[in-house]
C-alpha cells in the first residue's frame, strides 16, 4: 500500500509571524492529526522555527538540497545537515529548480542518491511544459525524466522515493490538470515503474499531483486511483485553503 501525502511547498515566502500564524491555524482546523501525511516545506531559515512549533504529526521538509555531504560549496545545504535539524523529506527537481537554476536530470540523480544515502526521503518532481503537453508528447517526456534520474536505483531504494507529477503549465497558473488528465499520466508513471521494477513495487510508490491544487479541486483529484495526494504551492500559504486540502484526504 502506498501512503497519501500532502506536501506544502511554501517556496520563498513567509516570515516568522506569518509562519507561526499559519501553523497554528492549520493545527486548529485540520481533522487529520493522527498520522504522518502532512509535510511542511518552509524556506530554510525557518526550519528550526517550524520544527519547534509544529505538532508531531506534521513532517518537516526542505525544498532543495546539495548533492554533496560537505565541503567548499558556498550557500549549499546537505542531507546530513538537514537531518540534524529534523528534516528528512526533501523536494528534488521542482520545475522552478530545473528552469531557474538549470538543474539537469543527471544532477537530480545525484541529489536523489545523496538523500537516500542519508536515509532520508526524496520527493522527486517530474512534469512537462506546455509545449510538450500541446504536442501530446508528455508521456515520453516524463518517462525520460524518470529514467534519467531514478532508474539507476535498486527496488529497495525506489521504495523510499515519493514522486510528484507537476505539469509546469499548471504550476501557479490557476490552471489545473483535470482529474482525468492527472489520473491518466499518474497511471502511466506507475506503468513505467512497473515495467522496470514490477507491479508490486510500482503499486507501493506514492505519486502526488502538483499544479494549482486548491480546496475546490482537491477531493476530485485525490479520489483518482493513482493520485496519492498533492504537492501544494500557492494554496499552502492560505490556512483555510490548505486545511480544506488536508481534510480532503479523509
Ligand atoms: P501551485 O504550486 O500549487 O502554486 O501551482 C505547486 C508547486 O509548485 O509545487
For the stretch 61-71, pLDDT in tens is 999 999 999 99
Q: Are the C-beta atoms of residues 244 and 218 closer than 8 Å to each other?
A: yes
Which tens digits make up the pLDDT trace of 130-156?
999 999 999 999 999 999 999 999 999
How many other CB atoms are found less than 10 A from the CB of residue 29? Answer: 14
Q: Mean pLDDT score of the chain, rounded to an integer?
A: 95
- Which atom of ligand 1 is least distant from the CA of 164? 9
Contact partners, residue 123, CB within 8 Å, separation at least 6: 7, 39, 61, 89, 90, 91, 92, 162, 163, 164, 208, 231
Closest to 125 in 3D by CA, of 177, 181, 189: 189
**Alpha carbon distances (Å) from 198 to 169, 190, 207:** 31, 10, 16
Is residue 229 pLDDT above 80, yes or no? yes
Q: Which of 233, 235, 238, 242 to mutate to test the pocket of ligand 1 (most atoms within 8 A of CB)?
A: 233
How many other CB atoms are found less than 10 A from the CB of residue 92? Answer: 28
Spot the catalytic one: 96, 103, 128, 166. Answer: 166
Contact partners, residue 75, CB within 8 Å, separation at least 6: none
Is residue 201 pLDDT above 90, yes or no? yes
CB of 127 shorter than 6 A to ligand 1: no
Q: Is 94 a catalytic residue?
A: yes
Lowest mean pLDDT among 135-144, 199-208, 241-250: 241-250
pLDDT for residue 48: 96
d(CA 201, CA 194): 7
Spot the catalytic one: 37, 89, 94, 186. Answer: 94
Q: HSE of 203 in the Cβ direction (CA atoms, 13 Å)?
A: 4
d(CA 119, CA 178): 35
Confidence bin at 49 (pLDDT 50/70/90): very high
Is residue 196 pLDDT above 70, yes or no? yes
Average pLDDT over residues 179-198: 98
pLDDT for residue 3: 87
Amino acid at each position: 500500500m502506498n501512503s497519501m501525502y500532502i506536501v506544502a511547498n511554501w517556496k520563498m515566502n513567509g516570515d516568522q509571524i506569518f509562519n507561526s500564524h499559519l501553523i497554528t491555524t492549520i493545527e486548529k482546523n485540520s481533522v487529520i492529526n493522527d498520522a504522518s501525511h502532512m509535510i511542511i516545506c518552509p524556506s530554510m531559515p525557518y526550519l528550526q522555527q517550524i520544527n519547534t512549533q509544529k505538532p508531531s504529526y506534521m513532517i518537516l521538509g526542505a525544498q532543495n538540497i546539495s548533492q554533496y555531504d560537505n565541503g567548499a560549496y558556498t550557500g549549499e545545504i546537505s542531507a546530513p545537515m538537514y537531518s540534524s535539524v529534523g528534516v528528512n523529506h526533501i523536494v528534488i527537481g521542482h520545475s522552478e529548480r530545473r528552469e531557474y537554476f538549470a538543474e539537469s536530470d543527471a544532477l537530480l540523480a545525484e541529489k536523489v542518491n545523496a538523500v537516500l544515502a542519508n536515509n532520508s526521503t526524496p520527493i522527486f518532481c517530474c512534469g512537462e511544459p506546455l509545449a510538450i503537453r500541446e504536442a501530446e508528447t508528455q508521456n515520453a517526456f516524463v518517462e525520460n525524466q524518470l529514467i534519467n534520474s531514478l532508474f539507476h536505483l535498486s527496488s529497495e531504494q525506489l521504495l523510499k522515493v515519493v514522486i510528484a507529477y507537476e505539469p509546469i503549465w499548471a504550476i501557479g497558473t490557476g490552471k489545473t490538470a483535470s482529474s482525468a488528465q492527472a489520473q491518466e499520466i499518474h497511471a502511466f508513471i506507475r506503468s513505467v515503474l512497473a515495467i522496470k521494477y514490477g507491479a508490486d513495487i510500482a503499486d507501493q510508490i506514492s505519486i502526488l499531483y502538483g499544479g494549482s491544487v486548491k480546496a475546490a479541486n482537491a477531493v476530485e483529484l485525490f479520489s483518482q486511483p493513482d493520485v496519492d495526494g498533492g504537492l501544494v504551492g500557492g494554496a499552502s500559504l492560505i490556512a483555510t485553503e490548505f486545511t480544506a486540502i488536508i481534510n480532503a484526504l479523509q
